[in-house]
Amino acid sequence: MIAVKLDEDLPHELLDLLKARGIDSVNVYQQGWTGRPDDWILSKIQAESRWLFTADKGFADIRRYAPGTHGGIVCFRADRESRRAYLHLAAFLLDSLDLRLYSGALVIVSFRGVRIVRARAAEMYARSCDSKSAACDAGLLASADWTLPARRGSVMAIQFSASRL
């Protein structure tokens, strides 16, 4: 069983979805953590050994929040931000992956698929990229261990995505 903390940018209904699936989950509102800096929030979540579920792109920066230095981060990337989109992405993730197998990873979930960046891929990425290059940002997607194509209405099989790094 995993434990999850929802960031303030995700809808409260997501908390209900997680709890209905038996996942120990709370949000930052319940603890009065809204408006706090990202580093502060992640340090508190680490102390609780929880995954962070967020839509904040800042948490997907592996130079700042390297995989393996936290319990795990799920970053939801909806084309159009809405409650329905985030609920759909979360349900897709929970139906597709057992997050217990990816502890410490960065998991990026969008309607195009799921990208998982583990500590080794992040380390290779950091060594091969200049922090300001556009190629570096493109390399983040190529460093994923697995890709799950996300199609609305159906879930396709897991496909392995070889790293270019």
- pLDDT at position 115 over 90: yes
CB 165 within 8 A of CB 124: yes
What is the reported pLDDT for 154?
Answer: 30
Is residue 165 included in any domain, yes or no?
no
Is residue 109 included in any domain, yes or no?
yes
What is the reported pLDDT for 7?
Answer: 96
Residue span of the structural domain in which 156 resides:
3-160
Mean pLDDT across the stretch 44-51? 94
Question: Please, what's the b/e burial string for 25-55 (b: 16 or more CB within 10 A of its CB; e: otherwise)?
Answer: bbbbeeeebeeeebeebbebbeeeebbbbbb
> Is the dihedral angle over the CA atoms 110, 152, 98, 25 positive or is it negative?
positive
* % of the chain beyond a pLDDT of 90: 65
pLDDT in tens, 10-33: 999 999 999 999 999 999 999 899
Give the confidence band of 124 by pLDDT, cuts at 50, 70, 90. low
What is the reported pLDDT for 161?
Answer: 34
Is residue 124 included in any domain, yes or no?
yes
Number of domains the chain contains: 1
pLDDT in tens, 48-89: 999 999 999 999 999 999 999 999 999 999 999 999 999 999
To the nearest whole number, what is the mean pLDDT of the chain?
A: 80
Mean pLDDT across the stretch 152-162? 32
